[in-house]
């Protein structure tokens, strides 16, 4: 489901003031790209990206003010098209009356910001990139364990929510239960969060719905978390060979990102919360260059080589 962003959303989320073009505040923004119309100020509109949000900084405004009235009118008229979602003027600069007039005629909102141009373009880009990021939803539980975002997946009834509850009791933080909304905010970064309807809630069979924040406090939940590790819970299969050393690293592809994945078999007597907790700590160790499985393999190889020599 693609996000719908309108110009009025910028007014609600940023320190912007609507100066003109009020009729167009419901215009849809269809791209996260922001244009600084520098070359357009010279009169070259052949490749003008009119569907983008336009940002006028000190350089563009200074050039505009040096033009004669006829040129100013021409530039303002060409800037304000029927699909331009808005024009943001930064640094608290005074906005020329000609630009205000053309804005009101065409219904292109002019938004005023007191911030520096680089700060404005950075914050707006980050906001729009997050809104337009590729999106998917996965059935599972997302928990923040020692700063590692662990996505717990598995078939229905395998014990995902019960494990998450035990992890919360051990001091970790719940992000989402049952359905995890995931956005790819960078080429290698997946951010998971909970749908608003079920935020902070856990479904435990036999108990029903519980509110984790009410029971365990505000420190037991968080609104979003980067996903670093996937734990797949599955019922123990006697015929299946499970990894006992950890040398082979499996991954799961979510959109365009490959995330490390471990499969943990479930059977009575196994403390899944502790196992997943250790998996998160082991993941952190690996990222710091410590790999217990490789160390064991090296020791074993060395021992075999010594015995062969003897």
Catalytic machinery residues: 139, 160, 178, 244
User: Per the annotation, does 21 bind a ligand?
Assistant: no
User: Per the annotation, does 86 bind a ligand?
Assistant: no
User: Per the annotation, does 157 bind a ligand?
Assistant: yes
Whether the CA torsion 257, 200, 179, 246 is positive or negative: it is: positive
d(CA 278, CA 77): 63
Residues contacting 301, CB < 8 A, separation 6+: none
User: Per the annotation, does 223 bind a ligand?
Assistant: no
User: Per the annotation, does 203 bind a ligand?
Assistant: yes
Residues contacting 135, CB < 8 A, separation 6+: 1, 2, 3, 181, 182, 183, 184
Place of tokens 């935020």: 199
d(CA 279, CA 176): 19
Which has the closest alpha carbon to 176: 211, 145, 140, 148?
Answer: 140
Strand boundaries in 28-178, DSSP class E:
28-29, 34-35, 53-56, 87-89, 110-112, 135-139, 141-145, 148-154, 173-176
User: Per the annotation, does 158 bind a ligand?
Assistant: yes
Checking 161-167 for CB contacts under 8 A at 24+ apart, the result is 161/202, 161/203, 161/204, 161/205, 162/204, 162/205, 163/233, 163/272, 163/273, 163/276, 164/202, 165/202, 165/204, 165/210, 165/212, 166/272, 166/273, 167/143, 167/273, 167/276, 167/277
User: Per the annotation, does 24 bind a ligand?
Assistant: no
Binding-site members are 154-161, 203
Binding-site members for ATP are 154-161
Binding-site members for Mg(2+) are 161, 203
């Amino acid at each position: 489901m693609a996000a719908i962003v309108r110009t009025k959303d910028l007014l609600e989320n940023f320190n912007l003031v609507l100066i003109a073009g009020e009729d167009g505040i419901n215009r849809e923004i269809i791209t996260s790209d922001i244009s600084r119309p520098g070359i357009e100020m010279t009169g070259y509109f052949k490749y003008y990206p009119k569907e983008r949000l336009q940002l006028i900084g000190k350089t563009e405004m200074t050039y505009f003010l040096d033009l004669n009235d006829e040129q100013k009118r021409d530039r303002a008229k060409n800037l304000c098209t029927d699909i331009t979602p808005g024009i943001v003027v930064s640094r608290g600069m005074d906005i020329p009356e000609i630009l205000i007039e053309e804005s009101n005629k065409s219904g292109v909102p002019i938004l005023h910001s007191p911030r520096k141009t680089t700060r404005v373009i950075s914050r707006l880009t980050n906001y729009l990139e997050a809104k337009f990021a590729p999106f998917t939803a996965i059935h599972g539980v997302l928990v923040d364990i020692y700063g590692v975002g662990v996505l717990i997946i598995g078939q229905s009834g395998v014990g995902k929510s019960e494990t998450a509850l035990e992890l919360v009791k051990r001091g970790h933080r719940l992000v989402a239960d049952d359905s995890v909304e995931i956005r790819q905010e960078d080429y290698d970064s997946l951010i998971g969060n909970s749908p608003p309807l079920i935020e902070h809630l856990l479904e435990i069979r036999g108990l029903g719905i519980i509110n984790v924040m009410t029971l365990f406090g505000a420190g037991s939940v968080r609104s979003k978390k980067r996903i670093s590790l996937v734990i797949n819970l599955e019922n123990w299969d006697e015929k299946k060979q499970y990894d006992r050393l950890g040398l082979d690293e499996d991954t799961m592809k979510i959109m365009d990102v490959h995330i490390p994945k471990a499969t943990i078999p479930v059977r009575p007597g196994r403390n899944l919360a502790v196992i997943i907790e250790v998996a998160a700590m082991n993941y952190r160790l690996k990222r710091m260059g410590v790999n217990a499985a490789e160390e064991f393999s090296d020791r074993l190889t060395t021992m075999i080589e010594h015995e062969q020599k003897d």
